[in-house]
């Protein structure tokens, strides 16, 4: 568990914040926001830093630093991941917490945004130490958590095991069961069906709705997918099952291509056995750069940020880009792609399926009523396609990109809630 490249995650999250914040400045301008509105949006409601001792395996005590930012709760309790990283900083978390508030507003689920974590390198500690550090952090922040206050979820270097420790520690402190305190739990402890594929599936629901609504000619029916782990692999599997032809995929070791389509279930088995997608029978080896500009109708970046920039955007052949990764396209590249008619489905919408199913998990926990897979699928489809329709509506009325429209919609929604609460002038 928890084996990704730590440097990469840190770098990616900085890019994600930076790109989103740059576009936000333009959105504020387009919406002609008042100074009061900008002030309200620019500051997190609460941010906490805690320091706590943990007895390590060596018997010595070490001090750790944890943070939690609750950015905006006008629309509901704050919701957002807990990440573990040696370079975790409060400022980065503030931006990511704001992004969560925007994402929840965009898909119209009744949550505000939060983010938090611990400054720790998970590769340098034992599993027992990881558990002790997690439990100690929760003891420090339990007063500011709650199913109607702030609900954590997994993020970089935290997973469902960490969520179980969070649940257990919180319930020990409160002396009762509180399953809705955290999402991303295993099904046996109140997790939701569909959670593991929710990000990929949510994006695909939006993709299909977009293709249907815009009636656009995708050109080559091939799909190319960058990244083949959590999000990319599930996207490939779902699209393959739906009958799409996946003609190129890649992971950190490089890419493979077969214009006639790749057998995805067999490739998943191959990756499981060999650790990479390379050397899969009946495919040609390509580089990651080649994958991005390969002849395909739909391109799905599902790995890193800043993969499509000024150097390669003119060579992109896809007619549709579904941004399942966070910030895979630079703003300049995104604008030039949109200008030449490429449909760029922005990350804030495309990868929101994860938080939507987290919301479903929370509802199921509160009601102690667990849904069948079909119900989760139906409600995820409804939520994602409704969000797409709202964004498309803004795009049509304002003649702007989907990214701009999505941010405008989310900001308006948060400000509307603040206005209803009396925090802004009517
Ligand atoms: P992951 O770590 O499970 O998978 C990342 C994949 O990218 C791996 O297959 C890795 O080999 C590949 N990769 C790394 N470097 C690469 C390179 N240079 N070229 C091509 N592939 C490369 O991560 P994930 O959970 O699948 O997330 C992928 C992206 O989606 C990230 O940007 C993440 O922030 C975003 N995202 C994920 C979720 C989620 O639910 N997991 C939700 C929202 C956004």
Residue 13: its pLDDT value, please? 57
Q: Which residues contact 367 (CB under 8 A, 6 or more apart)?
A: none
For atom 29 of ligand 1, the residue with the nearest CA is 325
| Res. 132 pLDDT band, cuts 50 70 90 | very high
State in Å: Cα 305 to ligand 1 middle. Answer: 9
The residue whose CA has the least distance to atom 38 of ligand 1 is: 199
| Arithmetic mean of pLDDT, 58-74 | 98
Interstrand relation of 112-118 and 78-84 (parallel, antiparallel or unpaired): parallel
What residue owns the CA closest to ligand 1's atom 21? 251
Confidence check: pLDDT of 214 > 90? no
C-alpha 317 – ligand 1 centre gap (Å): 22
Check 79, 94, 103, 115 and give the catalytic one: 115
Q: If you average pLDDT over every residue of the chain, what do you get?
A: 93
Q: If you take atom 18 of ligand 1, which residue's CA is the nearest one?
A: 252
Q: Which residues approach ligand 1 with their CB closer than 6 A? A: 4, 12, 199, 226-232, 250-252, 288, 302-304, 324-326, 351, 354
Assign 26 a pLDDT band (cuts: 50, 70, 90): confident
Render pLDDT for 216-264 as a digit per residue (tens, 0 to 9): 776 667 999 999 999 999 999 999 999 999 999 999 999 999 999 999 9
Give the Å distance between the CA of 8 and the centre of ligand 1. Answer: 10
Mutate to test the pocket of ligand 1, among 16, 157, 229, 237 (most ligand atoms within 8 A of CB): 229
Protein residue with least CA distance to atom 43, ligand 1: 351
What residue ranges define each of the domains in the chain, with the CATH number in brackets?
44-180 (3.40.50.10860), 197-345 (3.40.50.720)
Nearest-atom index, ligand 1, CA of 232: 26
Check whether 302 has a pLDDT greater than 60: yes
Q: What is the pLDDT of residue 14?
A: 55
Is residue 152 scored above 90 in pLDDT? yes
CA 78–ligand 1 middle distance (angstroms)? 25
Distance, CA 351 to ligand 1 centroid (Å)?
12
pLDDT for residue 30 is more than 50: yes
Q: Which of 19, 303, 345 has the most ligand 1 atoms within 8 A of CB, as the residue to mutate?
A: 303
pLDDT in tens, 167-201: 999 999 999 999 999 999 999 999 999 999 999 99
In percent, the amount of the chain with pLDDT more than 90 equals 87
HEC readout, the chain: CCCCCHHHHHHHHHHHHHHHHHHHHHHHHHHCCCHHHHHHHHCCCEEEEEEEEEECCCCCEEEEEEEEEEEECCCCCEEEEEEECCCCCHHHHHHHHHHHHHHHHHCCCCCEEEEEEECCCHHHCCHHHHHHHHHHHHHHHHHHCECCCEEEEECCCCCHHHHHHHHHHHHHHHCCCCHHHCCCCCHHHCCCCCHHHHHHHHHHHHHHHHHHHHCCCCCCCEEEEECCCHHHHHHHHHHHHCCCEEEEEEECCEEEECCCCCCHHHHHHHHHHHCCCCCCCCCEEECHHHHHCCCCCEEEECCCCCCECCCCHHHCCCCEEECCCCCCECHHHHHHHHHCCCEEECHHHHCCHHHHHHHHHHHHHHHCCCCCHHHHHHHHHHHHHHHHHHHHHHHHHHCCCHHHHHHHHHHHHHHHHHHHCCCCCC
Can you give the pTM of this predicted structure?
0.94
Query: In this model, does residue 275 exceed pLDDT 80?
Result: yes
- What pLDDT is stored for residue 2 in this prediction? 41
Catalytic residue list contains 115 = yes
- Using DSSP's 3-state secondary structure scheme, residue 274 falls into helix
pLDDT tens, position by position, 249-261: 999 999 999 999 9
């Amino acid at each position: 568990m928890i084996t990704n490249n730590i440097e990469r995650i840190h770098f990616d999250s900085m890019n994600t914040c930076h790109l989103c914040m740059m576009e936000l400045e333009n959105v504020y301008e387009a919406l002609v926001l008042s100074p009061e509105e900008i002030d309200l949006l620019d500051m997190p409601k609460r941010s906490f830093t805690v320091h706590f001792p943990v007895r390590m395996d060596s018997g010595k005590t070490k001090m750790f630093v944890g943070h939690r930012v609750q950015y905006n709760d006008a629309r509901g309790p704050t919701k957002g991941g807990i990440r573990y990283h040696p370079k975790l900083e409060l400022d980065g978390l503030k931006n990511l917490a704001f992004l969560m508030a925007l994402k929840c507003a965009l898909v119209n689920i009744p949550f505000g945004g939060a983010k938090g974590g611990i400054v720790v390198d998970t590769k340098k500690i034992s599993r027992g130490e990881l558990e002790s550090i997690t439990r100690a952090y929760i003891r420090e922040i339990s007063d500011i958590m709650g199913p109607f206050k702030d609900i954590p979820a997994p993020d970089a270097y935290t997973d469902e095991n960490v969520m179980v420790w969070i649940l257990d520690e919180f319930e020990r402190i409160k002396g009762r069961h509180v399953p809705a305190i955290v999402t991303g739990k295993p099904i046996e402890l109140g997790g939701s069906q569909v959670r593991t594929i929710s990000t990929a599936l949510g994006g695909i629901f939006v993709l299909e709705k977009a293709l249907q609504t815009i009636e656009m000619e995708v050109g080559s029916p091939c799909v190319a997918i960058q990244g083949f782990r959590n999000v990319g692999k599930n996207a490939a599997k779902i699209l393959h099952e739906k009958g799409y032809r996946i003609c190129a995929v890649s992971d950190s070791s490089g890419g493979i291509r077969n214009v006639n389509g790749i057998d995805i279930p067999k490739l998943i088995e191959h990756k499981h056995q060999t650790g990479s997608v390379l050397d899969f029978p009946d495919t040609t080896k390509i580089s990651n750069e080649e994958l991005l500009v390969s002849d395909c109708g739909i391109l799905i970046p599902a790995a890193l940020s800043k993969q499509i920039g000024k150097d390669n955007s003119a060579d992109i052949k896809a007619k549709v880009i579904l941004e399942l990764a966070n910030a895979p396209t630079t703003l300049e590249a995104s604008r030039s792609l949109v200008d030449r008619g490429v449909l760029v489905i922005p990350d804030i919408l495309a990868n929101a399926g994860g938080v939507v199913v987290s919301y479903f998990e929370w509802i199921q926990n509160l009601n102690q009523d667990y849904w069948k897979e079909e119900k989760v699928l139906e409600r995820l489809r409804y939520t994602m396609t409704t969000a797409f329709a709202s964004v498309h509506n803004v795009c049509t009325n304002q003649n702007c990109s989907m990214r701009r429209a999505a941010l405008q919609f989310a900001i308006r929604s948060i400000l509307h809630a603040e206005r209803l609460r009396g925090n802004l002038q009517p």
